[in-house]
Chain A
């Protein structure tokens, strides 16, 4: 017996939920920092929400000087070939990126766990 199997079902459930909370929380922080470096990533998820008349997504940056320093806001627009722009805000794109990053990290963690378990099984079989 090893890892989570050493605990009861309740402890195992608590551990899994805790791990999920840590994963989702850390991905929120990661997405926040990552979109500050590469806000253009939001274009790719925003374009899924743009209609046929406004097929192109553009991330627009507003920089303002405040008493605390410089503040930067991002807004996503869906624009038409003749320059009509529809404001999509920032939150929907951010939430979509957060979900996407979390799913990608979840897949990586799951693959890591499967690989670790397979290695452990091989080691036990050899012993």
Chain B
């Protein structure tokens, strides 16, 4: 009889715990230790000014891995600060006359999309090797310098473009806030060439 009584007490204790847990779940659901999506997005943007340098590094690594090379050839790299998407125009290593667009978003490299190459396009003249452009591995620093030099309050990076111009590879960082906008330009080594508010 005593054993049955003890067992009954244990069962009622277990049921009480379960009811308390269920009640706690209902009342406190998601309260402790989770960050709301909006707060998370805002916090990440505040840390980096909208674009993290590691995003570019991961995108370039993903393309290199897909193509089986650590030094792919590219015509341009575009980073969209809003969608955190890196779009790269990449030379096909099996046929250097062909270009493909690769988009990297949310840790995923999408399938390549072919680019129309016309007679007036010189793929060889317009492209650069990733390792020829050291600034690509330190984009976080470039973003910090650009935001500092532009001096726009609450600015976020809207777009970064890396492209070969007449004087070599140039990186332009476009940033804006609700009230002001500007562009900073860097060379392939990450040296600031120009920063002006528009």
Can you name the residue of chain A whose Cβ is closest to the Cβ of B37? A62
Can you name the residue of chain B whose Cβ is closest to the Cβ of A39? B34
The reply on B4 being an interface residue by CB < 8 A is no
Say whether B35 contacts A60, CB under 8 Å.
Answer: yes
Main secondary structure of the interface of B (DSSP, over half): helix
The listed residue (B30, B32, B43, B44) touching A63 by CB distance below 8 A is B30
Residues of A35-68 whose CB lies within 8 A of B? 36-43, 53-54, 58-63
Say whether B54 contacts A61, CB under 8 Å.
Answer: no
Say whether B22 contacts A33, CB under 8 Å.
Answer: yes
- Interface size of B as a range: 20 to 34
Task: Give 1 or 0 for each of B15-41: 1 = CB within 8 Å of chain A CB.
Answer: 000000110110011111111110010
Taking the closest CB of chain A, its distance from the CB of B109, in whole angstroms, is: 14
Residues of A within 8 A of B34 (CB): 39-40, 59-61, 74
The reply on A85 being an interface residue by CB < 8 A is yes
Q: How many residues of A contact B (CB 8 A)?
A: 31
Residues of A within 8 A of B30 (CB): 36, 39, 61, 63, 72, 74
Which residue numbers of B lie inside 8 Å of A, CB to CB? 21-22, 24-25, 28-37, 40, 43-48, 52-55, 58, 106-107, 140
Additional A-B contact list (8), CB under 8 Å, known A83-B48, A84-B54: A38-B33, A39-B30, A42-B33, A58-B35, A63-B36, A77-B40, A82-B54, A82-B140
Which residue numbers of A lie inside 8 Å of B, CB to CB? 30, 33-34, 36-43, 53-54, 58-63, 72, 74, 77, 79-87
23 CB < 8 A contacts A-B: A34-B21, A39-B30, A53-B54, A54-B54, A58-B40, A59-B35, A60-B34, A60-B36, A61-B30, A61-B36, A61-B37, A63-B30, A63-B36, A77-B40, A80-B52, A81-B47, A82-B52, A83-B43, A83-B44, A83-B48, A84-B48, A84-B58, A87-B107
